[in-house]
């Protein structure tokens, strides 16, 4: 068809094209924001909750594990403290109950030592030292009788505080022990001291009574960090312990430390009151860590899978949602465009009708006057230029007739028709229409192929007007294709409510600019003849029949018109 084209449905795409890139950017940005915001809102609480959870869990697990450790250290400290206090009390009892003179007696002192060994254990020797520092009496395995302690620190301390517990030291026989000394006054500022050496192995055995895990350790140190008992991992007795001294506390404490390899462990400690000893217990947190790591790994797994799932849903949702918005926007743009186009056609129609009306009357006057001239000429045989005149008048009358046809069609286009609705067999209708053009098609060797499926539903519409529509489109097609061209007609149902008739040709096609104007009145590409009304009238009729007409074309490949019609014509637009 010489005028073919893309139309209504296609128009939205054509017109939205210049802003296409901008529009796409807008939707991309919308999608980006939607994903970002939703992710932020959904993931932030989840991640925060998981972190809090991990922290709380860690805290609870630690408390769970540390409580028994603390209790154990407290118990051990208590029993060590009792051990020392017991012996100190025994010494105080001896010094208070047995007079100085009796204690100076070697045998009496030996009796006391033997009693204490029996009752308490751990006592190695016993000595009496007067206020000048001279050991006046001694029983025990060492030869210490007569030794003077006046210049030793512990002697001064015991003089001041009344009692002294010494650090552990290595005795002459090569086993570690410590000293407890108590003072008793003799009146008038004079006093004497009862000094006992105690096997520090007893302390160690006390510590060992608690069941230690293979990776744990327990031992005593003094305030300078010298090991007072042997240890598993930190050296033998009297060696320097590698653990830094913890700060003083009256209670049992637990601190988390790192060893030289950076591995964390717990140190539980307690200062044993009135002694130089500090009880220390170290625990490798492996079992604790094992539990903890499982819990933490589970939590992290859960978090990761949740985050991935949520992100997938969010991304899918955003794509889906933005896609829907985009579709809706496009649909709205198309509808707006169609409304705009329909309005434009309607107003052009009104203007055209007005113009046609106004022109029709002067046209009638010209007609009558030219007719009059013709009438006069017909009786004036002697008129010299009669034949020439006759020719010109005929030309005027022919032109009036042509004008009349134009105004007739224009008014027809604008006219409000009352369609006459009847049931139509499309196959039969197409055959009728093809009957009109068959001769010309045959003459010009144009192949016309018409395919209508057997189950094509009958439609309710105006037969005459539909014939007019199809004829207009077919005539366009026949004019468009050259000799030997081809026209395909097909009809098919679209869903339950519509049918589509498509008429395609293999003509030269229509440029996009022409396509946009193809249904406008007076738009024509046929230079010699053609009023430019055919397709605009076709468009008007299809609209009135409640259908749509659209057109697609590509230059060089041909053009195809599609007329969509309702099967039940309930909404004929008059």
Which residues are near other proteins by CB under 8 A? 353, 356-357, 360-361, 363-369, 371-372, 375, 400, 404, 407-408, 411-412, 414-415
Sign of torsion, CA 449 454 457 462? positive
> For other proteins, which is the closer residue by CB, 31 or 544?
544
- Provide the minimum distance between the beta carbon of 429 and other proteins in the complex, in angstroms, as a whole number: 24
Q: How many CB atoms lie within 10 A of CB 423?
A: 9
CA angle 297, 301, 305 (to 5 degrees): 175
- Provide the minimum distance between the beta carbon of 522 and other proteins in the complex, in angstroms, as a whole number: 17
- Provide the minimum distance between the beta carbon of 410 and other proteins in the complex, in angstroms, as a whole number: 8
- Provide the minimum distance between the beta carbon of 362 and other proteins in the complex, in angstroms, as a whole number: 8
- Provide the minimum distance between the beta carbon of 343 and other proteins in the complex, in angstroms, as a whole number: 21
Across the beta sheet with 278-283, the strand order is 217-221, 278-283, 264-271, 253-258
- Provide the minimum distance between the beta carbon of 348 and other proteins in the complex, in angstroms, as a whole number: 15
Q: How many CB atoms lie within 10 A of CB 316?
A: 10
DSSP string, 111-175: HHHHHHHHHT--EEEEEEEETTSBEEEEESSS--TT-B-TT-HHHHHHHHHSEEEPPPEE-TTS-
Distance of CA 443 to the CA centre of its chain: 69
> For other proteins, which is the closer residue by CB, 53 or 367?
367
- Provide the minimum distance between the beta carbon of 538 and other proteins in the complex, in angstroms, as a whole number: 19
- Region of 238 please: left (phi>0), alpha (psi -120 to 50) or beta: left
> For other proteins, which is the closer residue by CB, 146 or 362?
362
Closest among 408, 417, 438, 355 to 542, alpha carbons compared: 417
Question: Distance between CA atoms of 130 and 67, rounded to whole angstroms?
Answer: 48
- Provide the minimum distance between the beta carbon of 381 and other proteins in the complex, in angstroms, as a whole number: 15
Question: Distance between CA atoms of 514 and 510, rounded to whole angstroms?
Answer: 6
Closest among 491, 476, 490, 469 to 446, alpha carbons compared: 476
> For other proteins, which is the closer residue by CB, 22 or 416?
416
Question: Distance between CA atoms of 75 and 79, rounded to whole angstroms?
Answer: 6
> For other proteins, which is the closer residue by CB, 110 or 403?
403
Question: Distance between CA atoms of 66 and 69, rounded to whole angstroms?
Answer: 5
> For other proteins, which is the closer residue by CB, 366 or 564?
366
DSSP string, 469-510: HHHHHHHHHHHHS-TT-EEEEEEEEETTTEEEEEEEE-S---
- Provide the minimum distance between the beta carbon of 526 and other proteins in the complex, in angstroms, as a whole number: 23
Query: From the CA atom positions of the chain, what is the Rg in Å?
Result: 59
> For other proteins, which is the closer residue by CB, 304 or 378?
378
- Provide the minimum distance between the beta carbon of 540 and other proteins in the complex, in angstroms, as a whole number: 14
Burial class (CB in 10 A: 0-12, 13-18, 19+), 4: buried
Question: Distance between CA atoms of 219 and 230, rounded to whole angstroms?
Answer: 7
Query: 463-480 and 534-544 are packed helices; what angle lies between their axes, rounded to 10 degrees?
Result: 150
φ, ψ for residue 170 (rounded to 5)?
-90, 125
> For other proteins, which is the closer residue by CB, 256 or 368?
368
- Provide the minimum distance between the beta carbon of 412 and other proteins in the complex, in angstroms, as a whole number: 7
> For other proteins, which is the closer residue by CB, 295 or 366?
366
> For other proteins, which is the closer residue by CB, 402 or 526?
402
Burial class (CB in 10 A: 0-12, 13-18, 19+), 281: buried
> For other proteins, which is the closer residue by CB, 246 or 371?
371
Burial class (CB in 10 A: 0-12, 13-18, 19+), 309: exposed
Q: How many CB atoms lie within 10 A of CB 520?
A: 17
> For other proteins, which is the closer residue by CB, 61 or 396?
396
Residue 25, CA atoms < 13 Å, CB-side half-sphere: 4
> For other proteins, which is the closer residue by CB, 370 or 518?
370
- Provide the minimum distance between the beta carbon of 23 and other proteins in the complex, in angstroms, as a whole number: 44
Whether the CB-CB separation of 544 and 419 falls below 8 Å is answered with yes
- Provide the minimum distance between the beta carbon of 367 and other proteins in the complex, in angstroms, as a whole number: 4
- Provide the minimum distance between the beta carbon of 8 and other proteins in the complex, in angstroms, as a whole number: 27
> For other proteins, which is the closer residue by CB, 116 or 352?
352
Question: Distance between CA atoms of 522 and 213, rounded to whole angstroms?
Answer: 104
């Amino acid at each position: 068809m010489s005028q073919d084209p893309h139309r209504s449905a296609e128009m939205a795409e054509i017109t939205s094209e210049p802003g296409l890139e901008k529009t796409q950017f807008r939707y991309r940005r919308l999608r980006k924001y939607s994903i970002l915001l939703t992710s932020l809102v959904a993931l932030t609480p989840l991640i925060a909750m998981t972190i809090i959870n991990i922290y709380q869990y860690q805290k609870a697990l630690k408390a769970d594990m540390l409580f028994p450790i603390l209790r154990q250290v407290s118990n051990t400290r208590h029993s060590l403290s009792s051990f020392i206090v017991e012996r100190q009390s025994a010494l105080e009892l001896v010094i208070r109950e047995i007079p100085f003179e009796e204690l100076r007696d070697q045998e009496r002192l030996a009796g006391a030592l033997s009693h204490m060994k029996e009752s308490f254990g751990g006592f190695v020797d016993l000595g009496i030292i007067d206020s000048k520092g001279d050991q006046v009496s001694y029983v025990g395995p060492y030869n210490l009788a007569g030794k003077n302690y006046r210049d030793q620190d512990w002697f001064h301390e015991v003089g001041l505080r009344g009692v002294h517990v010494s650090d552990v030291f290595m005795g002459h026989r090569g086993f570690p022990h410590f000293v407890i000394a108590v003072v008793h006054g003799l009146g008038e500022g004079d006093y004497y001291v009862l000094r006992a050496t105690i096997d520090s192995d007893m302390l160690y055995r006390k510590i060992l009574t608690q069941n230690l895990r293979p990776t744990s350790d327990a031992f005593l140190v003094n305030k300078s960090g010298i090991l007072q008992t042997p240890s598993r991992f930190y050296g033998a007795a009297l060696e320097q312990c590698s653990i830094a001294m913890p700060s003083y506390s009256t209670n049992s404490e637990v601190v988390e430390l790192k060893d030289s390899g950076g591995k964390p462990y717990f140190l539980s400690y307690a200062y044993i009151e009135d002694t130089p000893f500090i009880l220390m217990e170290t625990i490798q947190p492996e079992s604790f860590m094992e539990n903890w790591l499982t819990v933490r790994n589970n939590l992290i797994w859960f978090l990761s899978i949740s985050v991935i799932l949520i992100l997938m849903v969010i991304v899918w949702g955003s794509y889906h949602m933005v896609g829907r918005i985009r579709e809706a926007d496009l649909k709205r743009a198309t509808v707006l465009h169609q409304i705009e186009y329909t309005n434009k056609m309607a107003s052009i129609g009104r203007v055209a009708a007005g113009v046609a009306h106004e022109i029709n009357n002067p046209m009638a006057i010209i007609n009558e006057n030219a007719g009059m001239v013709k009438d006069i000429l017909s009786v004036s045989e002697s008129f010299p230029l009669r034949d020439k005149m006759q020719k010109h008048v005929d030309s005027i009358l022919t032109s009036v007739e042509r004008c009349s046809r134009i105004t007739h069609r224009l008014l027809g286009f604008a006219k409000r028709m009352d369609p006459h609705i009847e049931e139509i067999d499309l196959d039969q209708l197409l055959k009728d229409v093809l009957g009109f053009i068959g001769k010309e098609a045959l003459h010009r060797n144009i192949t016309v192929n018409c395919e209508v499926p057997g189950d094509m539903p009958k439609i309710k519409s105006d037969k005459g007007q539909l014939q007019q529509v199809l004829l207009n489109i077919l005539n366009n097609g026949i004019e468009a294709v050259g000799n030997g061209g081809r026209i395909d007609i097909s009809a098919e149902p679209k869903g339950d409510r519509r049918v589509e008739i498509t008429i395609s040709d293999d003509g030269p096609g229509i440029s996009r600019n022409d396509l946009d104007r193809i249904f406008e009145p007076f738009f024509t590409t046929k230079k010699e003849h053609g009023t430019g009304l055919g397709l605009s009238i076709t468009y008007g009729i299809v609209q009135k029949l409640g259908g749509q007409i659209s057109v697609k074309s590509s230059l060089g490949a041909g053009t195809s018109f599609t007329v969509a019609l309702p099967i039940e014509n309930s909404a004929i637009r008059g």
